[in-house]
Amino acid sequence: MADLPLLLEPQALSEQLDNPNLLIIDLCSSDSYARGHVPGAIWMDPARLQRGSGPVPNKLPNADQLSQLFSELGLTATSHVIAYDDQLGALAGRLIWTLDIVGHRHSSVIHGQLPAWIGAGLALEQQPNSATPSTFVAEINESLVADIPYILEHLDDEQVAIWDARSAEEYRGDKVVNAAKGGHIPGAIHFEWTSSLRGLQDWRLQDLEAIRRHLDSLGLGSDKTVVTHCQTHRRSGLTYLIAKALGYPDIRCYDGSWFEWGNHPDTPVER
């Protein structure tokens, strides 16, 4: 099977539903899945994209957790994963990042997520689907992850840009969410995660070249190593997806995000 595009239009997916290599993952709420999902989709609890324990539970799961997750989902080397959610693409983007980390590069998202599928007049099904388990051994590629030591080491590096995907209020420090301190990482550039969508009712991305030009103008161009984060690395799942769609060669996610940085006693903050 030729690789499908990263941003897969609903109609194009509908023409591939009988392809045995497709692994369609629904990251919506369990209630949404029960009401109706893309035919053949398997529901995955989005909480499993996080470690779920320790002082920073929103971090990437460890290799054992990811091995168990992807084995339960039936992931194999020939699988092409199709992800979608009901969160504007944030969870689907985080799943794509996680798949990239374990070296599985055959993946797409429904462009516009579940609302785009419904808006295209395509059928939903209510019957739940079960995966055929596989044996998947996850090995983590750390080059797609940034942590506090990495960021501190590169604070003055002009070739590394921090993309803060939170709201403007959070970036300025006017709004502080589950953190001891507000503001942003010194030198971080703000571009809110939803700013590249066509609208809050249309979750498709705007013209990619227009997004590229705007990111270039902000100092978040593809000529740099870009580290993206938000509060818990949910919203920055979408910004990772955007950078991947634009072909950025070095995009990393700070999965600790502001929940870690804003609660750490020794991290510098700018307001």
Is 230 in the active site? Answer: yes
Beta strands 145-146 and 251-254: pairing type? Answer: parallel
Instruction: Report how far residue 161's alpha carbon sits from residue 178's, in angstroms, rounded to the nearest whole number.
Output: 24
Q: Is 143 exposed, middle or buried (0-12, 13-18, 19+ CB in 10 A)?
A: exposed
Nearest to 116 by CA among 80, 82, 86, 81: 86
Half-sphere exposure of 149 (CA within 13 A, CB side): 0
Instruction: Report how far residue 270's alpha carbon sits from residue 152's, in angstroms, rounded to the nearest whole number.
Output: 13
Compute the chain's Rg from CA coordinates: 18
Residue with tokens 């929103």: 58
Catalytic residue, from 38, 88, 95, 230: name it.
230
Residues identified as active-site: 230
